[in-house]
Structure 1
Amino acid sequence: MGVTRQKHAKKIMGFYKHNFQFREPFQVLLDGTFCQAALRNKIQIREQLPGYLDGAAQLCTTRCVIKELESLGKALYGAKLIAQRFHLRNCSHHKNPVSGSTCLLSMIEDGNPHHFFIATQDQDLSNKVKKKPGIPLLFIIQNTMVLDKPSPKSLAFVQKLQTNQLVPEYQKQSIVELKEKEGLVKQEGEKRRKRKRAGGPNPLSCLKKKKKKTQEGQEPSAEKKKRRKRKRNR
């Protein structure tokens, strides 16, 4: 494994760990195209991927992916055997299986709360994954696994987070649950009670009192003049 490629992967993993809270063991969802490419290029996914991601990894797939590989017959028999070794993640298509790509897309809805990686060679699926922020994408080039650089959508999402303009969906749900637990969420129909402010004295009554005091303290000007004359005569 090249040193440059390892540094590249480590830098990208740091981005997802820091901004999207990815933790070990890393949950990697694989489809049939990735398994087929690994088989063709003689890549040991279970042995090589943890070293490349620099951490423990849990390889997963879905029943829809297995069903799709079974339907494609002998050509993808080897890929089916590889996929069957992985942990099966429950999807919502038990009764009506869908294509592998559709199923994997459904697994990363609502902000990818389970922190899945997507491992695929399907270009159409890759393009759809890149339109969702916070989803690491793995693919195979020649005989090496590659962790794709963060998509423009992921970079824009992180930039908004840093400016406090956006909260991830799973965090919003956690905040709501915490508020409900602490009883901070007000029930519908509950009215806010306004506090009555302590009333101050009526300004008009104050003015009246001041006027009375000034009137009582004043003496008629005629009486003042008489007093002055008496003093002079003495």
Structure 2
Amino acid sequence: MKVKKQKRHRKTVRFFSVCFGFRQPFKVLCDGTFVHHLLVNNITPADTALSNCLGAPVKLFTTRCILAELKTLGASYSHSFQAANKLTIARCDHEKRKGADACILDVIGQNNPEHFFVATQHVDLRNKLQEVPGVPLIFALRNALFLEPPSSFQHQFVKASEEKRLHMTEKDHKLLERKTGGLLENEDVAQSNDVEGLESHDPGLQAHNTRKRSTGKKLGVKDRVQFKRKKAKGPNPLSCKKKRSHENPNPSSIKESKEGDNIVRRNRRRKRPRRDKSIAGADKDSK
């Protein structure tokens, strides 16, 4: 598959999955013409080819009316009938057999509740299904499969549904008016009772209260956004050094300690023994 074709298919699958709620594995409703084209052009296995086209796992479905139509076409479509008979049968609730096109239109309905991808080779059927919201279409050309992009009708339907979601309906608007009217009446009654009580104590507060009533809060909505003011915090005690004590001792005690140290040092001086002069003279004479 080429890169441009793959991107186009991926974009289409994303559109239907986001806007209409398609989920994996995708359901593909195949008619007899599509199954016959796959067998003639050797596009097998069919589930692998369709999963490569959509970029996701798939489940193949058909209906009893489609099988009955293939059976009536004779021996030339016998292989197609056998291949279609192996697919999962989708419920169509038709007591009498209908044509494949009519059966597929009835199964799809107005909004495709089962989220089917419709695989068919009928051009008229594809044109009819393009006017139905939420129906992606698959067709084959020779040995290649193609996913049709969403039609202009489907794009307009998605835009209209988005606008409806943005705007309120009449029923929701009436409910909102009832709720807001009841809340406003209760609030006015409560404010009038408060004003009467204040006037009985101090009649000079009447003007102030009426002004307050006019600027009062409605429906519990605050006039201004209130934020918490950030206050200056102290430093982290773990990152601070401990304070040093600056107390000076008494000067008298310092002097006493110094004098005591000098005395101790003097007492510790080493005293050398002195010899007598007489002994020293006797030593000289002997020499």
Report the TM-score when normalising by structure 1.
0.69
- How far the C-alpha of 1:162 sits from its partner, in A, is 2.2
AA at the equivalent of 1:157: F
Q: Is the 8 A contact 2:33 2:121 kept in 1?
A: yes
Q: Which moved more, 1:2-11 or 1:30-39?
A: 2-11
Quote the offset at 1:110 in angstroms: 3.5
Give the equivalent residue in structure 1 for 2:114.
114
Secondary structure at 1:164 match in 2: helix
- Does residue 128 (structure 1) correspond to residue 128 (structure 2)? The answer is yes
The alignment's C-alpha RMSD in Å is 2.5
C-alpha displacement at 1:4, in angstroms?
1.9
Quote how far apart the aligned CAs of 1:92 are. 1.3
1:170-204 Cα offsets, whole Å, 9 max, x none, are: xxxxxxxxxxxxxxxxxxxxxxxx97986x8xxxx
| 1:20 alignment counterpart | 20
Separation in 1, partners of 2:98, 2:29: 16
For the residue of structure 2 that corresponds to 1:67, the secondary structure is: helix
Deviation at 1:42, TM superposition (A): 1.1
User: Residue 7 of structure 1 aligns to a residue in which SS?
Assistant: helix
Query: In structure 2, what is the equivalent of residue 149 of structure 1?
Result: 149
Q: What residue number does 1:66 align with?
A: 67
Give the structure 2 partner of residue 101 of structure 1: 101
Alpha-carbon contact 1:16-1:134 (below 8 Å) kept: yes
Aligned partner of 2:73: which letter? L
Alignment of structure 1 residues 1-234 onto 2, 5 Å: 1-44=1-44, 45-93=46-94, 95-164=95-164
Q: Which runs of 5+ in 1 are unaligned?
A: 167-193, 201-234
Q: Return 47-56 or 29-38, whichever deviates more.
A: 47-56
Post-superposition Cα deviations, 1:53-81, rounded to whole Å, max 9, x if no partner, equal 11111100000000000011112112112
In 2: Cα distance, 1:30 partner to 1:155 partner: 25
Counterpart residue identity of residue 114, structure 1: E
Matching residue's letter, 2:82: L
What do the CA deviations read for 1:124-178 (whole angstroms, capped 9, x no partner)? Answer: 1111111101100000012101000101111111111222269xxxxxxxxxxxx
Q: Which amino acid aligns with 1:130?
A: Q
- Any unmatched runs of 5+ in structure 2? 167-180, 193-287
Q: Answer whether contact 2:110 2:132 (CA < 8 A) is retained.
A: no
- Please tell me whether Structure 1 or Structure 2 has the larger radius of gyration of its CA atoms: 2
Secondary structure class of the residue paired with 2:29: strand
Between the aligned residues of both structures, percent identity stands at 36
* Matches of 2:52 and 2:143, distance apart in 1: 15
* Amino acid across the alignment from 1:164: K
Q: Per the alignment, in what secondary structure is the counterpart of residue 14 of structure 2?
A: helix
* Residue aligned with 1:23, SS: coil
Q: What SS class does the counterpart of residue 69 from structure 1 fall into?
A: helix
Count of residues in Structure 1 that have an aligned counterpart in Structure 2: 177
Letter in 1 for 2:129: V
- Determine if contact 1:133/1:151 at 8 Å carries over to the other structure: no
Letter in 2 for 1:51: N
Aligned partners of 1:57 and 1:47: how far apart in 2?
8
Higher relative contact order (CA 8 A, sep 6+): 1
Distance (whole Å) between structure 2 residues aligned to residue 165 and residue 108 of structure 1: 25
Amino acid at match of 2:86: R
